[in-house]
Amino acid sequence: MTSRILEPGQIETLAQRSIPRIRLPDRDTLFARRAERFEALAVASPIGAYLRLQAAVARAQHAALADFPGTLPTPAQRSAAQAHRMPPMPAAWPRAPAWRDALSAIGRAVAALADCPVEVARLGERVALLSMEDADTQADRLLGVREGAVDTAAAPLLMAALQVHWTAASSRLVADEVQPLDVPGLCPLCGMPPVASIVRAQAPYRGYRYLHCALCACEWHLVRVQCSQCGASGKDVAYRSLVADDGTGEPAGALDQAVRAETCEQCSSYRKIVYQEKDPGVDPVADDLASLALDLLLAEHGYARASGHPLLWQAEPDDAR
């Protein structure tokens, strides 16, 4: 038997290969678990009613995804993307018309909510009745492929329907066949920025940090203690959470143990990072939205969100994000 000694560079390469680079969503559980998480977070939250509304949206997404017809990048789209190291189902990817049915279903689910404020019910009805043309125009603006004003009230429901469309595809792909991009801060499947990071606790992903796509729910690996926006690492990266105001320095509540902000001194931005080992139920989308108090604190300290939340849109002076 022969043996050989690995050079340091080879050891690192082998270690990198053993890490699952891509984790794709499970269409049977993604939105159902997110709904459960929103419900759980709502119990002790000052924005509980809002989180329960999001739980209803996630339940509608789950139902819509179950009925969603299969749409996948064609072999030609995939090989062209691979050749140019581009995402195979980018924001400008032609949408299956069924995305509009998902939008209607989500709008109707919101309108039918018990104890729903009348303006929210009206929003649900309005979105459910949007014409295909108007819905497509708004979708293109949200995805950044067409110029124009975003309907910020309807945007969260539109994004929820677009998540169904893109997740219907990402959940049918094979992780080993997804090629990471040269830009680590963008989703290798759709090219959108991540909403947040998750450090997973179950094998084969245990202990690894993944960025979670805001659109297609694909997760891709990024080493820990590295800024997902500019790539800075080491002492420029810090972790911040809300602490109790009793002087102990302990996390303010259960949510604050499992959710932190990864801040960067180089680009003065942050993204949240959630830890499954602290709470197995964490969800990057739900926990990011439920921890708005942390965003307010970070803004006071001069940090800006690296990218927005897909289900939270604010009107800006130029209607751009």
Q: Which stretch binds Fe ion (CB under 5 A): 12-20, 32-40, 101-109, 263-271?
A: 263-271
Q: How far is the CB of 171 from Fe ion (least distance, A)?
A: 11
Q: Which stretch binds Fe ion (CB under 5 A): 3-11, 131-139, 177-185, 232-240?
A: 232-240
- 168 belongs to the binding site for Fe ion (CB under 5 A): no
- Which are the contacts of 44, defined by CB distance < 8 A and separation ≥ 6? 253, 254
Q: How far is the CB of 211 from Fe ion (least distance, A)?
A: 10
Amino acid at 192: M
Q: Which of 86, 91, 153, 267 binds Fe ion (CB under 5 A)?
A: 267
Kindly tell me which of 156 and 310 has the beta carbon lying closer to Fe ion: 310
- 227 belongs to the binding site for Fe ion (CB under 5 A): yes
Kindly tell me which of 104 and 228 has the beta carbon lying closer to Fe ion: 228
Tokens of 273: 């990072």
| Distance separating alpha carbons of residues 93 and 152, to the nearest angstrom | 22
Q: How far is the CB of 248 from Fe ion (least distance, A)?
A: 30
Kindly tell me which of 106 and 192 has the beta carbon lying closer to Fe ion: 192
| Distance separating alpha carbons of residues 12 and 114, to the nearest angstrom | 55
Which residue in 37, 48, 158, 155 sits closest to 95, CA to CA? Answer: 158
Q: Which stretch binds Fe ion (CB under 5 A): 44-52, 96-104, 190-198, 277-285?
A: 190-198
CB 241 within 8 A of CB 256: yes
Q: Which stretch binds Fe ion (CB under 5 A): 37-45, 93-101, 251-259, 265-273?
A: 265-273
Asked if residue 284 has a cis previous peptide bond (ω within 30° of 0), the answer is no
- Which residues in 180-306 belong to E strands, given as ranges? 194-199, 209-213, 219-221, 237-240, 259-264, 269-275, 304-305
- List contacts with Fe ion (CB under 5 A): 187, 189-190, 213, 215-216, 218, 227, 229-230, 232, 264, 266-267
